[in-house]
Copies of this chain bind each other. A is one copy, B any other.
């Protein structure tokens, strides 16, 4: 059987073939050996979301953005593609390699499909919304594409939901972003949430202070990344005591903060610690019922943060639910810098942790049921499923269509 479908809605004529062996998700890339397989399969890392997961995704996005909106974060929606040079300007090589590109025949320039939405929000905040009062609170939800999945997550189309607070570099701003992320996740019913705080600029500042550069610096960073205290001691020379102290100040926040506080730090580095202490204290006060840990030597993926960064976790969920933190502004002229802080939630991880909404009850209405009956039940929260032809056995038809209730003789009959 061949569909000569189109639904004419964009004048597409396609052929889609029933291929009953492929009724489940199949995302492996296959050699194009048969027409059947080719038409039913998707590229690796891309998939069709089916009922009820697609509904669950929409519910999660809606709930998170509703929560952000309640705190004054207004929604923006940048396009899926942009000029490559605006989207990737200054990006590392690794990001550029992860980005799909398109030739635009209209502008005769290269476009890129966004691998991340945050960069677009920063662009909007500083251009189109450059005149809005600060702090500027923005939220977004959108799909991003990357060329390759990774071990933890093979998906290549991901959904990001986030909030950005563009405004003063204040502890209250850092704390607000963490708080609203936790509240949004809780609005979805997530439990066992924890926040791991890091401070990516701290170690580089210490290494600068002790004049550690080149290979020695790289080796030391690798040892710190492995949390290898012995190697750190062997490599660090005069910085050894400080770095050992930072390495020890990892773990549950209260204890780690005490260790961090007792540490002697070079004067140039101490302000970072003060900021972190203030943020930890505020989170303990304002969001007391979460797990809070510190990892002051963590920096992987946080290289460009200029202050406190954080990762969000939930017990029982593999990987991060999201991450965020303070990012940087380098004033180049007389204009004042625009500091910002924000959070990106990884919806695919969040969805796995979020309890599914209870499925709505489905009521089968045999052909001829008055429209008012259908409307009334929908207004009461029912899903109504209309019969399209006269049934010999309406109850059997209802069951076949996954309805546990049927309208017979002016009443709902449970099946």
Contact = CB atoms under 8 A, between A and B. Distances in A.
Closest 3 interchain pairs by CB?
Answer: A6-B304, A51-B74, A49-B77
Interface residues of A, number: 158
Given A12-B119, A122-B7, A167 B388 contact: yes
A235 to B, nearest CB: 26
Contacts of A296: none
A89 interface: yes
Contacts of A332: 1-2
Contact of A3 (B65, B79, B122, B301): B122
A274 interface: no
Interface in A1-34: 1-20, 22-25, 29, 32
A252 interface: no
A325 B8 contact: yes
Interface string A306-334: 00010000000000000111011111110
A45 interface: yes
B16 A83 contact: no
A367 B107 contact: no
A40 B130 CA distance: 11
Nearest to A302: B8
A128 interface: yes
Interface in A359-411: 360, 362, 367, 371, 378, 382-386, 388-389, 400-402
Given A13-B304, A65-B58, A342 B7 contact: yes
A129 to B, nearest CB: 7
A192 interface: no
A10 B15 CA distance: 38
A340 interface: yes
Contacts of A85: 32, 38-39
A101 interface: yes
Contacts of A118: 5-7, 9-10, 12
Interface string A157-197: 10010101001101011001000000000000000000000
Nearest to A22: B127
Contacts of A293: none
5 contacts: A3-B328, A7-B116, A46-B79, A50-B128, A81-B100
A95 interface: yes
Contacts of A120: 48
A14 B119 contact: yes
A204 to B, nearest CB: 14
A76 B89 contact: no
A181 to B, nearest CB: 12
Contacts of A131: 20, 23
